[in-house]
């Protein structure tokens, strides 16, 4: 096995990268930076390099032994991720709920719009730094990124295909996929290769090197201003945010990877409102015509739906706070539109109920302290986010 040959996972991936890059042309500084040919290959080099050497503030990337990253897998996975032809309607893709320019989530509505205008019941989690998650979906129902990647294809209110076989058959019939799976895997399309390609692309969405990272891990004292530093002191001290949004001495994921009841699940679902226009990418796609259509959040028991344990009712996975400035609206159902809303909610002790986590309490924060926490949260926005968007835009702008 590969992992027996190297002392660390980073050494393993680095060796695989070295082999992969032998077939990828390099670019000189004076060559045109188009999105075709060698410039496209440059994107794959950059994506592979991020996995081997993540941006400042992130730990080593966990990579399955049976799915090492390659340039061909990344390119194929990106293409599949944004391909609307792989949905039943031909109008949706994975990227429809994880828009690059919206923090790889959806900013326009509390929860995304799915198949034939159906309003999904949960907010779309960002895919930035998804490589580090230990469980997937807000209820933790999948244990690997590979398993997660397949599920939306057959969910009836998402991509809505009747089966994965239908998806695979469609891929085989599309001429622009000819030879791509064979190049990436040495075999044709299958559920396994479909999952491995998409998850490999998703592992490249590593976003850090923020102002906070440059201050804490890069030794740049002036990278963080005074109010953000005050916010960090509150975050790790009086406010106690760090109890769920953990960080280490050498890196920070800002999550404990656990499930908590923060009180939001007990708040009655908000209606969108009959007659309200729902948009995607700024284009009108659906109008709620009556109260039945207008319910934004169907019944949702959280982690309890998976474990069947009453104690898990309304518990949801702790999200990372990295890039949180980019990923509004917030909470599992998109309850809050701004960071100020979130700080106010937790500062006031949340929505009290018998199951709420003991860590949620009245923090007695004044206005200055609340503003400082918001400033700190904004300091977690990655310095390399534009590069990820540019790489993704290649699929959004090129015709198959």
Residue 335 and residue 383: Cα distance in Å, rounded? 27
Q: Given its phi and psi angles, is residue 257 left (phi above 0), alpha (psi -120 to 50 degrees) or beta?
A: left
pLDDT of 27 reads 30
Give the model's confidence band at 398: pLDDT under 50 very low, under 70 low, under 90 confident, else very high. low
pLDDT, residue 189, reads 98
- Please report the DSSP string for 341-369 in residue order: HHHHHHHBT-S--TTS-TT--B----HHH
Is residue 72 a contact partner of residue 21, using CB atoms and an 8 Å limit?
no
The arithmetic mean of pLDDT across residues 23-42, rounded, is: 46
Strand partners, 277: 287
| pLDDT for the residue 178 | 97
Range of lowest pLDDT (23-27, 96-100, 109-113, 290-294): 23-27
| pLDDT reported for residue 148 | 96
Of 196 and 33, the one with more pLDDT: 196
- Identify the weakest region by mean pLDDT among 41-45, 129-133, 261-265: 41-45
Residue 331, pLDDT > 50, answer yes
Task: State in words which class domain 211-378 has.
Answer: mainly alpha
The model's pLDDT over 274-319, given as tens digits with 9 standing for 90+, comes to 444 444 444 443 344 444 443 444 478 999 999 999 999 999 999 9
Q: What pLDDT does 37 receive?
A: 55
pLDDT of residue 326 exceeding 90, the answer is: yes
Mean pLDDT, range 8-28, rounded to an integer: 44
Which stretches of the chain are DSSP H helices?
9-20, 37-52, 71-81, 94-97, 145-150, 164-173, 180-185, 191-203, 211-216, 226-236, 291-294, 304-307, 339-347, 367-378, 385-397
- Is the Cβ–Cβ distance between 199 and 77 less than 8 Å? yes
| Mean pLDDT calculated for residue range 253-270 | 85
Q: What is the pLDDT of residue 279?
A: 44
- Nearest C-alpha neighbor of 331 from the set 348, 314, 347: 314
pLDDT at 42: 84
Please list, in sequence order, all residues whose beta carbon lies within 8 angstroms of the beta carbon of residue 274, skipping any fewer than 6 positions away.
288, 289, 290, 291, 293, 294
Q: Which residue has the tokens 């106690």?
A: 240
pLDDT band at 270 (very low <50, low <70, confident <90, very high): very low
How far apart are alpha carbons 345 and 254 in whole angstroms? 19
| pLDDT in the model for residue 396 | 61
Confidence (pLDDT) at 39 = 63
Q: Give the domain ranges of the chain.
A: 2-207+384-397, 211-378
For 144-184, the pLDDT digits (tens) are 999 999 999 999 999 999 999 999 999 999 999 999 999 99
What is the mean predicted confidence (pLDDT) over 103-112? Answer: 94
pLDDT digits (tens, 9 = 90+) for 47-78: 999 999 999 999 999 999 999 999 999 999 99
* 228: helix, strand or coil: helix
**Length of the chain in residues, anyone?**
400
Mean pLDDT, the chain, as a whole number? 85
**For the chain, how long is the longest CA-to-CA vector?**
64
Angle, alpha carbons 14-193-126 (nearest 5°): 70
Burial of 361 (0-12, 13-18, 19+ CB in 10 A): middle
Across residues 247-261, what is the average pLDDT?
A: 96
User: Are domains 2-207+384-397 and 211-378 of this chain identical in fold?
Assistant: yes
Whether the CB-CB separation of 224 and 381 falls below 8 Å is answered with no
Portion of the chain with pLDDT greater than 70, in percent: 81
Among 38-52, 193-207, 218-232, 305-319, name the one with the lowest average pLDDT.
Answer: 38-52
CATH code of the region 2-207+384-397 = 1.10.760.10
pLDDT grade for 272, boundaries at 50, 70 and 90: very low
3/225: higher pLDDT: 225
Mean pLDDT to the nearest integer, 175-197 = 98
Find where tokens 């989530």 sit.
105
Q: Say if residue 364 is exposed, middle or buried (CB neighbours under 10 Å; 0-12, 13-18, 19+).
A: exposed
Query: What pLDDT, in 10s, does the model give residues 340-364?
Result: 999 999 999 888 888 888 889 989 9
């Amino acid at each position: 096995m590969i992992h027996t040959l190297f002392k660390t996972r980073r050494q393993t991936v680095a060796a695989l990268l070295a082999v992969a890059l032998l077939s990828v042309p390099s670019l000189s500084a004076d060559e045109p930076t188009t999105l075709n040919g060698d410039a496209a290959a440059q994107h794959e080099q950059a994506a592979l390099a991020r996995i081997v050497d993540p941006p400042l503030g992130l730990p080593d990337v966990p990579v399955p032994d049976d799915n090492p990253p390659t340039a061909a897998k990344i390119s194929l996975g990106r293409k599949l991720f944004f391909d609307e032809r792989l949905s039943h309607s031909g109008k949706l893709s994975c990227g429809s709920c994880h828009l690059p320019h919206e923090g790889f989530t959806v900013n326009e509505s509390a929860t995304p719009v799915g198949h034939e205008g159906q309003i999904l019941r949960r907010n779309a989690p960002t895919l930035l730094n998804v490589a580090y998650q230990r469980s997937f979906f807000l209820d933790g129902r999948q244990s690997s990124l590979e398993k997660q990647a397949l599920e939306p294809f057959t969910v009836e209110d998402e991509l809505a295909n009747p089966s994965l076989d239908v998806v695979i058959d469609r891929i085989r019939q599309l001429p622009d996929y000819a030879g791509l799976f064979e190049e990436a895997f040495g075999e044709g399309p299958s559920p396994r290769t479909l999952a491995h390609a998409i998850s490999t692309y998703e592992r490249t969405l590593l976003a850090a090197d923020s102002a906070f990272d440059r201050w804490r891990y890069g030794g740049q004292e002036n990278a963080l201003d005074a109010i953000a530093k005050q916010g960090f002191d509150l975050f790790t001290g009086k406010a106690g945010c760090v109890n769920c949004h953990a960080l280490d001495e050498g890196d920070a994921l800002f999550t404990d990877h656990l499930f908590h009841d923060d009180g939001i699940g007990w708040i009655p679902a908000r209606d969108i409102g009959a007659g309200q226009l729902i948009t995607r990418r700024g284009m009108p796609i659906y109008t709620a015509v009556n109260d039945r259509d207008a319910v934004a959040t169907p019944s949702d028991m959280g982690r309890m739906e998976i474990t069947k344990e009453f104690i898990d009712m309304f518990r949801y996975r702790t999200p990372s706070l990295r890039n949180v400035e980019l990923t509004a609206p917030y909470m599992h159902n998109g309850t809050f539109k701004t960071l100020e809303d979130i700080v106010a909610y937790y500062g006031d002790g949340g929505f009290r109920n018998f199951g709420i986590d003991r860590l949620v309490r009245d923090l007695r924060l004044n206005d200055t302290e609340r503003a400082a926490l918001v400033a700190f949260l904004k300091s977690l926005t990655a310095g390399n986010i534009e590069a990820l968007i540019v790489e993704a835009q290649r699929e959004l702008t090129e015709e198959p």
